Each structure stands twice: as structure tokens, then as C-alpha cells.
Structure 1
């Protein structure tokens, strides 16, 4: 009898612990790492605390109603003093949380637009649509997977952000020839081209961050796409070149950011090869279309 009670108590504790653990499961921007960049680090670069807060304020303001309509309450944990070089999305008690860290914002590769892409990526875990991170009843079933959060982050969230908040900079001239050439493949309007160029530059900022964190010798390039083709959709963090490929394709997809997304149908709101939209379709280095 006593033995049975003990076993039952252990099972209850295990289930309760599992539930508590599940509540705190989170989706990170990059793989777990030990790098820390504290406030005042002389080797730090990145952005200022004012820029950090401004970006968070703007992205939150633009998307709060969308989160509410999806059934959540958006909350941002601003951890400027924390040296962690990462960012997280998590859901707990109806709160759809973005955890943003000063360590990532202070990384030398991060620009203000690059940080906006990080915030947009984490938001994408909540409202980025299909494909989801993990199937069935596992703890992160609510989260759009990493590649999809990259695609959503630049194609929809960041584009909306750029259209709402111009930084007043000109993006035309020799310095931006490569980006301009790419963007003109999809866009003809000068404002659309400018937004596309800003997106590519933001993608390169975080692409360089990925390279640094993995200690790779070569940074990803706009026109050196990954040759990898997955046999099934990969939910984790793709390699840096594959992630930059996603940003490039997101910048070149001409779907507007007001189209309704689906948590089950990956074609809703995004470019698809099956629709003849190869240029802006998710790259095959992480995404496996159902018709291929």
C-alpha cells in the first residue's frame, strides 16, 4: 500500500514537473551558447540601449493587435543588462513572450535593422504560421519552426516595420549594387526596392552573427546559396548560409504582409514553387515542399 502511494506521488511529481517544464519551453534565435557580452564591454559594438528599446517598442506596437487576434497577450522581457547572446519566444499562462537580451544587441555584427529582424523572428515563432516547430503534442508544438520564423520575420514583420519607420538613409549607389541587382528581380517601385535592400542588409547582419557564433571562417553570401536539399522539413536552426538564403528569398517574395496565415497550410501568405514563385519560395536547404 505504502509502496503504491509512493509510486503515485512520484508519477504526480513527474507529470507536474513535465507540465512546468513545458510551460517554460522556449524557441531561441540561435543555438545555446556560452558567449556573454556585458554592459560596458570595451570590445562590444552593436546598438545602444535607446535603439534596443526603440526597436522593441515599434515592432510590438505594429503587431500587438495581431497577437491579440490570434489569442495571445504580447509581453516583452527587456533584459538589456543581461549579457546573453540570444533571444527567445515562449508562451505561459496566455502570455506570448519575447525575451530580448542586451548581450545579443551589443554583438559587433548587430545593426539596428538586424536587431529588428531578431525581434521579428521571435515574434514569428508565435504568429508566423506553418510549418510548426515540432509536431504532435510536444512542448513546442505552438511555435513556427526556425526557418519559417526567419521567412516570416523578414518577409512580413520586417517589411511592415520598414514601411512604417523609414530611417531616412539612401540605399542607392555603388555601395549597394549587389543588393539592388537582386531586389530588382522582384521589385520595380523605388520604395519597394529600398525596403528589399534594407531587408537584405539586416539579413547579412544576423548572418554574420551566425558565422561568428559557430566560429566559421567564411560568412554567408547573397549569391552563394546552400546546395543542401533536405528529405524532410528541418525544424531546427539551419546553417548560416541556409538562413541567409531564407532572408534573400523572403526579401524577394512579393506577397503583401496583410494576407492571413495558417497554422497548418504553409502556402498561405508565402511564395510557393507550385505557384511559379521560385524566387521568393522557402529554400530547400530546410524546407521540403509536399509536391517535391
Structure 2
């Protein structure tokens, strides 16, 4: 096996071959088909090879999953098919990747968890259905190669992660590791580029989720409720207390200087006084400063500036 690895390392590195429309579409269909039984039966694949949009995404609306993939994403970043497989797996992971999930609605698996699912579960299943012995290990450190212990699927996964670096605009290196330790789990945002690569490596090696984004799982778990009625309001108030939490912070305020409930399901300012409000993610707020924004009541807790797509 050592002889085989030496040959692989000596093989000249070939830049990613141009991905064809047929390859692009086949890849997406293959991965979605792998999870046919786990994904909702109602789903749509919007594959637009001609589009120059540099994006891939998924959404869940009215009981239906919509996957959206643009050919411009592959062309702009010059991705290999296996690197694109990580992206497709990531989008699938948002729907069935498990916890941690976005807060508070738990509609999707978080960005970090979707990265972890992509390499821990999805690309291994995809690789088993689609052999490829033409990948190169150039640029991948021997320490990582040794961790694969000669397993071809693992080595191929490393090559895919290396190629995926292009998506992060040079903000990460497969051979490096983030030194950052997050004080809370990043539920509702992207971890930084190096942290995302670390997460993919951890998934591939079946290791713990890295501390650069993960601290704790949600303590409460429940099914996403698409028809949930959200009471909301807009307010401005002075901050009187800030307490760190595992997802950001909790804030208490003085009586609002300004308050307006939403038109359809108005939230009373008394709720803010009684419950305080949760901030998910970075907490730049300090006592004496002004808090302003949209406040939403969800399952007896208030949240500041929830992303509408997570509702």
C-alpha cells in the first residue's frame, strides 16, 4: 500500500478537467437519488447549467424541497466533480443532516453540520457508486494522507476537500487548522473558511465537530412547524443586562422608547419586559447601548432579527 501511495504522490498534478453539462447533471441526480428515501417525497431539482450565477442552494416551502444548482458555480471556481459533490452533499445535508440545526425553528441543519454531513456520510456513499482512480494528492500533507491509512475513499475525500478550497476564496488551507475556539455554537451563520475545511476533514475522519464553530447541541429538539404563527414587533430600548449563552446572548432592556407590533400578529412590548430577548450568533451589545430591530416570539422565547428564510 505504501508503494501505491508513493505512485499517487509522484503522479503529475493535473488541473481540474472541465466539467460538462452531462457530468454536472448526472452528479446531482446521483447524490439526490442516494437519499431518495430520506428526503421528502415532494422535491424539485432546478438545474441550470447555462446560468452564470455562482451559487447553489436549497429551500423548503409548502412541504416541498427545492434544490437549485447553477453551472456558473462550477465554472467560476473551476471545481472538480468531486468538489462539486461536496457542495451537493452540503445542500442535501441542510434537509436531512441532523443536529445542530438553525435556531430557533430547526428548519434546516446548520451550515457547519451540513459541511460535516457532506464528508462524514454523503460523499462516501457517492464515491461507492462512482469510482474514480484519477485524483491527485498534490498539495496534501503527509500527515493527512497517513490518517487515511491507505483507504482510497478517504484519500479521494481529501482530494475533494483540497479542490473545495477554491470556494472559500483562499481563506483556508487543507493542511492548516483553525486555532479559534467559539464561545457558542454557530447555528445560523457560516463558520469561517478554515473552520469549514476543518469540519470537512473532521467529518471525513469521523472525528468530533471542531471547536471553531461547535460548542453544544440544542437542548430542545422538535419538528419544524411550517404553519407556525409568529407574533412580532419592532422596538427600540436601552440595554440593561447582557448574559452570554451557548448560542449567543440574552438581553434585558428598559421599557421601549419605541414599539410597534406587526400588522397581522402583533407582539406586545410587555413580552419584551417579561422575557427579555435572545440574540443568536455574535453579541456585540453592551449595557447602556440601544437595542433595535425586529423581535419574534417563538415557543415562549423572544428572538432578535430572525432570518425570514429560517421561519
Q: TM-score range by the shorter chain?
A: 0.5 to 0.7
Superposition RMSD on alpha carbons, in Å? Answer: 2.5
Q: 1 CA distance for matches of 2:58 and 2:77? A: 23
Alignment of 1:1-292 (within 5 A): 47-68=19-40, 72-136=41-105, 141-169=106-134, 175-176=137-138, 178=140, 181-185=143-147, 187-188=148-149, 190=150, 193-211=151-169, 218-235=170-187, 236-253=189-206, 280-289=207-216
Deviation at 1:143, TM superposition (A): 0.4
How many residue pairs match? The answer is 203
Q: 2 CA distance for matches of 1:57 and 1:91? A: 18
Q: 1 CA distance for matches of 2:111 and 2:196? A: 9
Equivalent residues of 1:180, 1:197 under 8 A apart? no
Instruction: Decide whether aligned partners of structure 1 residues 135 and 46 sit closer, same or farther in structure 2, where only a CA change above 3 A counts.
Output: farther
Q: 1 CA distance for matches of 2:173 and 2:31? A: 27
Instruction: Decide whether aligned partners of structure 1 residues 229 and 85 sit closer, same or farther in structure 2, where only a CA change above 3 A counts.
Output: same
State the SS of the aligned residue for 1:153.
helix
Q: 1 CA distance for matches of 2:154 and 2:138? A: 11
Deviation at 1:182, TM superposition (A): 1.7
Equivalent residues of 1:89, 1:122 under 8 A apart? yes
Q: 2 CA distance for matches of 1:198 and 1:74? A: 30
Larger radius of gyration: 2
Instruction: Decide whether aligned partners of structure 1 residues 224 and 146 sit closer, same or farther in structure 2, where only a CA change above 3 A counts.
Output: same
- 1:82-108 Cα offsets, whole Å, 9 max, x none, are 211111110122221211111102124
Q: What TM-score, normalized to structure 1?
A: 0.63
Instruction: Decide whether aligned partners of structure 1 residues 120 and 104 sit closer, same or farther in structure 2, where only a CA change above 3 A counts.
Output: same
Equivalent residues of 1:117, 1:154 under 8 A apart? yes
Q: 2 CA distance for matches of 1:245 and 1:221? A: 9
Deviation at 1:219, TM superposition (A): 4.6
Equivalent residues of 2:52, 2:70 under 8 A apart? yes
Q: 2 CA distance for matches of 1:158 and 1:84? A: 24
Instruction: Decide whether aligned partners of structure 1 residues 179 and 55 sit closer, same or farther in structure 2, where only a CA change above 3 A counts.
Output: farther
Deviation at 1:183, TM superposition (A): 4.6
- 1:166-218 Cα offsets, whole Å, 9 max, x none, are 123366xxx45846642543x44x4xx2111221221222222211xxxxxx5
Structure 1 residue runs without a partner (length 5+): 1-44, 212-217, 254-279
Structure with a larger share of its residues in strand: 2
